[in-house]
Amino acid sequence: MSESVNSLVIEDLAFAYPDGNQALFGVNLKVKRGERVALLGPNGAGKTTLILHLNGILNSGHGRVFVADKLVDTKDKDGLKQIRSKIGIVFQDPDDQLFMPTVGQDVAFGPYNMGARDGELEKIVNEALSLVGMLEYKDRPPHHLSFGQRRRVAVATVLAMKPEILVLDEPSSNLDPASRRELADILRSLEITMIMVTHDLPYAYELCERSLILSGGVIAADGKTKNILMDVELLKKHRLEMPVGFTL
């Protein structure tokens, strides 16, 4: 595939689990470099299934996924390693990603395994922690941090890999209002392609100009976030609701 303006291209992606549950029914999607896209949809819509195809955790056998112009091919182990350095997924629970004795060691883990050492590694860690405002916590144990701080460190562990695409799974969940705002400020400052899976429609509106609704394994809507959120019937049809009192 030739060099293009797209960070992500998905072509006719379909997937069924071994129990026969069909989660995706032919998804087509293009995300441009630097674009921020919210992936909205009810529980069971296929959002997580879609995300897990982006770095080859799941392999459909039907359809193709390109990340930074490279085909995601689970049979190509070297290629898959490259892909996984280009797409960083921040999971909903930061404790799924933080397991080292200190914050700095957590952030260093990925770059170290990609060959970074000594001064280069130190520079990468410091830069990633600075991006999320957590450099002063570098030598702290992660379990001594607040939930919001741990989520920011989880973001730093991904940014340290200098990915092409940052994928965030419900980034605002379980955050108090101040932590929610701090994370939004950080995410807004990043110059990176972003895909945000969320039920938090105001957060999607705040951070992503474009939104998709994935429902029943297909993309049911794709457009400007404001236009989608103003379509009350569309939201209702796909079990999405704006918070009481929130106006666009």
> Would you say 138 and 102 are in contact if contact means Cβ atoms under 8 Å apart?
yes
pLDDT of 3 strictly over 60? no
Residue 242 is predicted with a pLDDT of: 86
pLDDT of 194 strictly over 70? yes
Instruction: Name residues whose C-beta falls within 8 Å of residue 39's C-beta, 6 or more positions apart in sequence.
Output: 47, 50, 51, 195, 196, 197, 198, 211, 212, 214
pLDDT of 154 strictly over 60? yes
Q: Return mean pLDDT, the chain.
A: 92
Confidence of residue 81 (pLDDT cuts 50, 70, 90): confident
pLDDT of 158 strictly over 70? yes
What number is the average pLDDT over the span 54-64?
A: 85
Tally of structural domains, the chain: 1
Where in the sequence is the domain holding 170, given as residue range(s)? 6-237
**In sequence order, what DSSP letters do the residues of 202-234 get, joined into one string?**
HHHHHH-SEEEEEETTEEEEEEEHHHHHH-HHH
Least confident of 79-93, 131-145, 148-162, 218-232: 79-93
Looking up residue 191, the CATH number of its domain turns out to be: 3.40.50.300
pLDDT of 14 strictly over 90? yes
The reply to whether 246 falls in a domain is no
The reply to whether 226 falls in a domain is yes
In the 8-state DSSP scheme, what is residue 95? G
Confidence of residue 2 (pLDDT cuts 50, 70, 90): very low
pLDDT of 77 strictly over 90? no
The reply to whether 1 falls in a domain is no
The reply to whether 182 falls in a domain is yes
Residue 1 is predicted with a pLDDT of: 39
Residue 103 is predicted with a pLDDT of: 98
pLDDT tens-digit readout, 102-146: 999 999 999 998 888 999 999 999 999 999 999 999 999 999 999
The strand order across the sheet containing 62-67 reads: 22-32, 6-16, 62-67, 70-71
The reply to whether 171 falls in a domain is yes
Q: Which helix (H) or strand (E) holds 79?
A: helix 77-86
The reply to whether 243 falls in a domain is no
